[in-house]
Amino acid sequence: MRVRAPFEQVLSLPPPFELVTLRERASAFAHAVEIAPQRGAGTLVYVGRFDLAEFAVVLEPEEPLSMARRAFYAGMVALCDALLAYAPPQKMVTVDWPDTIRIDGGLLGGGQLGWPPGEPEDEPPPWLVFGAMIRTVSMTGEESGVHPLATALEQEGFDDVGASNLTEAFARHLMAAIHGWQVDGFDSVGRAFVERLPRAAGTHYQIADNGDLLVMHAGRTDVGRSVLLPALRAPLWLDPQTGGPRL
């Protein structure tokens, strides 16, 4: 299937993904949420843009909603692995819990999760949507260093890695993450995710059954907890005014 804007490209997606393409400036995440009840699992919405890799995928979990939100971590793992597949040597891809992706400390983009409003926490939701946005090229027109906390793939040496390449890689790595979850349980996904968190000496992370982040420190018996649900309601990396990653 061909992307109709702004460039004619062909995306090669593995089964069972079905591609839906949108014009530039449309919202992949919002559109995926809108069509999720009709199109179902495997629908991948892609926006053809020069400056961003923007896409969203529909999932249909079998677990109660309170546990199914952990699918967000599978999406984040797949997104990080897709970036690492094209990363220059020695580049560090890290995650600010729960949703912000950085390269060598610079904010690159992140992921978000949607689900049906009012859905009971103790029942499987009819759908989830994982959306992602990664800055490929800086469009500010300003010199490098003006926004030292933000970055783009082009600035980090990801030569010739466009939105289509990253979307295709994400789809493949998402299938691998889901397969690992089905075979080995969620712990395989949880471990892969916490490996991307900034490391601190004597600190150990674990993902709880409901998706909360558990933080344990060597020599202490108390366990810290960061709650996932409220954190997902407003993505930390997303600028609500521009609709893109923060600068």
Judging by beta carbons within 10 Å of its beta carbon (0-12, 13-18, 19+), is residue 126 exposed, middle or buried? middle
Q: Which two tokens stand for residue 16?
A: 């069972």
Reduce the DSSP state of residue 203 to 3 states and report it: strand
pTM: 0.93
* Nearest residue to 206 (alpha-carbon basis) of 73, 90, 59, 111: 73
Tell me what pLDDT residue 145 has: 53
- Positive or negative CA dihedral for 101, 40, 231, 218? negative
In whole angstroms, give the CA distance from residue 107 to residue 152.
8
User: What is the pLDDT confidence band of residue 9, given thresholds at 50, 70 and 90?
Assistant: low
Question: In the predicted model, what is the mean pLDDT of the chain?
Answer: 92
Per residue in 141-170, pLDDT (tens digit) is: 555 555 568 999 999 999 878 899 999 999
HSE of 141, CA atoms in CB hemisphere, 13 A: 0
- What confidence tier does 138 reach under pLDDT thresholds 50, 70, 90? confident
- pLDDT category at 5 given cuts 50, 70, 90 is very low
